[in-house]
Chain A
Amino acid sequence: EIVLTQSPGTLSLSPGERATLSCRASQSIGSSYLAWYQQKPGQAPRLLIYGASSRATGIPDRFSGSGSGTDFTLTISRLEPEDFAVYYCQQYGSSPRTFGQGTKVESK
């Protein structure tokens, strides 16, 4: 099983600042089968990024993904008020599919 470790656990930032979230895999994820999701309280998750760097439909271009192998990053270039949420990475290169434990982006 591939274990995904996200860091930091919590990121305290102000609107307009840049957020950098990390997701590290315990072994290489083939073909960059890595996705990122956003979840707000009381809501289902929403797909942001797939294939490590491709934005899902309707996702603003302030969200970007990068990385390969075992190290992946989600960057939010300038935080908007609606971006404060929990973010999860997920690998879908092998079974069982696994999620990271999440990074909470909170308003400072």
Chain B
Amino acid sequence: EVQLVESGGGLVQPGGSLRLSCVASGFTFSNYWMTWVRQAPGKGLEWVANIKQDGSDRYYVDSVEGRFTISRDNAKNSLFLQMNSLRAEDTAVYYCAKNRGSGSYVDYWGQGTLVTVSS
């Protein structure tokens, strides 16, 4: 059974940093692209970033480019999102997600971790 378990969310002040983690199990992690998707309270889904199997390709939505970094550790079946210079508008539930093919649709989702940016 595929499982994706996020951690690292919490309350942070504007301008601060946070590192999200996602531990994957139930599939060969190193064979798949992975993605972060976020959802602001009461709002829709927003694709944030994705990363190729070996980490050699990474893509970001414009609003986080230069502030967020997606990375992975295939030996530990783990996906990360380093978030710097956080803003109030980054407040959201962040979902770790497994892609089916080359950066394609998401076939499995984690339960999400809440990030709140507020003073």
Contact = CB atoms under 8 A, between A and B. Distances in A.
Q: A and B from one assembly?
A: yes
Interface residues of A, number: 22
A97 B49 CA distance: 9
Contact of B104 (A1, A92, A100): A92
Interface in A41-57: 44-47, 50, 56
B89 interface: no
B1 interface: no
B104 A44 contact: no
A50 B105 CA distance: 7
A12 interface: no
Contact of B105 (A39, A90, A95, A102): A90
Interface residues of B, number: 23
Contacts of B107: 47, 50, 56
A95 B61 CA distance: 8
A95 B59 contact: yes
A46 B95 CA distance: 12
B59 A45 contact: no
Given A44-B95, A44-B110, A44-B112, A88 B61 contact: no
B47 A99 contact: yes
Interface of A: 1, 33, 35, 37, 39, 44-47, 50, 56, 88, 90, 92, 95-102
